[in-house]
Amino acid sequence: MPTRKLVPDVIKNQALSCLPPSATARDAALLMAERRIAAVLVTEGRTLKGIVTERDMTVRVVAAGLDPATTPLSVVMTADPDTLPPSSPAIAALDLMERHHYRHLPVAVDGEAVGMVSIRDLFAVVRAHLEDEIRDREAYMFGSGYSAEGAA
């Protein structure tokens, strides 16, 4: 079985959700709500500067008592986040996310944001892989014509 790459096997035709560092936490919350996503890339042009997640909003804005309408993302974002290139195997993203407890990981090329992978995206790939493995093993073990009625 070929190694699944972040692009195109996990991320396909993804529209990036980006805001500049000067945007407010409220801007990020509105974008997340509108697009039903849990993280926003913080960029200047296409250059990745950081990432803001729902968890960041909860801990660094709400729990800290900051005003979302006036707090810039540059204050609450995770600056210079870890990234992987699009050619990375999906398992590399899964390993990095598990090791550092991330749920979202930017995909970048030379500092330029090209996508974001979520743990949910990777779960779908792992699940599909496991289902394929089970099907292949059952076909090998029982043959394509196996049925309970034929075994007596």
Q: Which whole-number Å values give the CA distances from 64 to 28, 68, 71, 149, in the listed order?
A: 17, 11, 11, 65
- Look over the chain and give the mean of its residue pLDDT values, rounded to a whole number: 89
Q: How many percent of the chain have pLDDT more than 90?
A: 66
> Could you tell me the sign of the dihedral formed by the alpha carbons of 5, 6, 8, 10, in that order?
positive
Residue 145 pLDDT greater than 60, yes or no:
no
Q: How many percent of the chain have pLDDT more than 70?
A: 91
How far apart, in Å, do the first and last CA atoms of the chain sit? 35
Q: pTM value?
A: 0.81
Q: With contact defined as beta carbons under 8 Å apart, do 65 and 44 qualify?
A: no
Number of residues written out for the chain: 152
Look at residue 144 in the predicted model and tell me its pLDDT.
Answer: 63
Domains and CATH numbers, the chain: 6-142 (3.10.580.10)
Q: With contact defined as beta carbons under 8 Å apart, do 11 and 121 qualify?
A: yes
Helices then strands, counting H and E runs in the chain, come out as 5, 6
For 143, counting Cβ atoms within 10 Å of its Cβ (0-12 exposed, 13-18 middle, 19+ buried), the class is exposed
What is the C-alpha to C-alpha distance for residues 104 and 72, in angstroms, rounded to an integer? Answer: 21
Q: What is the mean pLDDT of residues 51-56?
A: 97
Tens digits of residue pLDDT in 62-118: 999 999 999 999 999 999 999 999 999 998 999 999 999 999 999 999 999 999 999
What is the CA angle 30-34-38, rounded to 5?
A: 75
Residue 44 pLDDT greater than 90, yes or no:
yes
Give the least confident one: 10-14, 52-56, 94-98: 10-14
What is the C-alpha to C-alpha distance for residues 136 and 66, in angstroms, rounded to an integer? Answer: 54
